[in-house]
Amino acid sequence: DLPGNWPDYVFDPGYSLMSLKEVERYVSENRKLPGLPSARTIQSEGLDVGLMQAKMLEKMEELVLYVILLEKKVSALEEQLVADSK
């Protein structure tokens, strides 16, 4: 059994994925990814390896969702380009 909530919830229809603009703003302001501890926090409080693995999987699954969204946008733009060239 896995402790806690394993990050497959990222693929639930109701999951609130930050927009890439929101992520960009957050990273610019906080110099770290949302939901992950800062280097300073890890240095002062240590690192829970199991929790960090779950958080890293969450980020990887979010990246898959971003790639899917971007692929859909690229496909739509390609279709529009083909339609406009006719």
Instruction: Tell me whether residue 2 is in a domain.
Output: no
Q: For residue range 29-58, what is the model confidence (pLDDT) as tens digits?
A: 999 999 999 999 999 999 999 999 999 999
Q: Which of 35, 13, 33, 12 is nearest to 24 (CA)?
A: 33
Q: Is the pLDDT of residue 62 over 70?
A: yes
Domain with 35, as residue range(s), is: 7-84
Q: Does residue 1 lie within any of the structural domains?
A: no
pTM of the model: 0.86
Number of domains in the chain: 1
11 within domain boundaries: yes
Phi, psi of 48 (to 5 degrees): -90, 105
Q: What whole-number percentage of the chain has pLDDT above 70?
A: 95
